[in-house]
Amino acid sequence: MNNEQIDIIKIGGSIITDKGNYRTLRKDQLSLLSKELAKWDRNCIIVHGAGSFGHTIANQYSIHKGFTDLDQLEGLLQIRKDMLDLAEIVTSNLIQNGMKAISFQTSAIVYEKKDGSYSFFFDPVKKALSLDLCPVLSGDILFSEDKGFRIYSGDALINLIVQNFNVARVIFISDVDGLYLKDAETQENKLVDFITSKDFEITDISKLEQKDSNDVTGGMKGKISAIISILDYVTKVVLVNGFHPERLALIREGEKFIGTSILNENST
């Protein structure tokens, strides 16, 4: 199993929570996704976003600015509790649908050093994979040698994971069909079904719209920046709409689906 390639599946917080309402879960959507993910036919790591269990309080206490005030510690403790609750909910749903899922706390195994690099301990996660378990992690608040603490997105975590695991592809489940770019002729936004990493060199990421003002992790611009880095280590990145769980089945079966596939430029 140690040499076997795995998938990383990112469940966006906007899919499993209502990001506009504090600690509001989309129970039916989480259940539908869990049923599809439980059928996954390759070993995988699941990373889920924080959604309204993280972003709301993070904004309220300016957690994304790092440690500036003792009052922020109240917010930090509340977010940590909320994230523990969300991790338990997500993992329990996966288990109830037949997946051998086991939760790991990201902030307990990753630490930011003063120079911006990370120290981490992924051995327990690797051992879980070797036992055919599915590790479940999430975005979190990291302790930081320089900043005290900081927001650490699920996308940033995936970037670290792909550098330390044998990952074939990363699948982002979000609330949009995929990547939209403006058509040169019609000037209308059009869903891109296929693109390579090299195409991003001529794509102006700064013009991508930021829809979610409550997202402290960078929204779509931050996601695309993370994807560009991830593609240095994996063959394929897939963007798919989680409000259509049946599309996950098509991805699993290698069939055509509505979404965006982004290939490493060195892939064949």
Q: What angle do CA 176, 88, 36 make, to 5 degrees?
A: 45
pLDDT digits (tens, 9 = 90+) for 7-36: 999 999 999 999 889 999 999 999 999 999
> Does residue 39 lie within any of the structural domains?
yes
* Whether the model pTM is above 0.75: yes
> Does residue 248 lie within any of the structural domains?
yes
> Does residue 213 lie within any of the structural domains?
yes
> Does residue 71 lie within any of the structural domains?
yes
Q: Do you know the residue count of the chain?
A: 268
DSSP assignment, residue 117? -
DSSP assignment, residue 138? E
Contact 138, 151 (CB under 8 A): no
Contact 115, 157 (CB under 8 A): no
Name which of 156, 152, 16 is nearest 87 in CA terms: 16
> Does residue 268 lie within any of the structural domains?
no
202 pLDDT tier (thresholds 50, 70, 90): low
Q: At 142, list the tokens.
A: 């990291």
Say how many domains are in the chain: 1
Burial (Cβ within 10 Å: 0-12, 13-18, ≥19) of residue 152 = buried
221 pLDDT tier (thresholds 50, 70, 90): low
The dihedral of CA 208, 178, 103, 121: what is its sign? Answer: negative
At 232, which CATH number? Answer: 3.40.1160.10
> Does residue 1 lie within any of the structural domains?
no
Which residues 6+ apart lie within 8 Å of 30 measured at CB?
Answer: 15, 16, 89, 90, 93
**Domain span including residue 86:** 6-263
> Does residue 192 lie within any of the structural domains?
yes
> Does residue 119 lie within any of the structural domains?
yes
Which pLDDT score is estimated for 185? 77
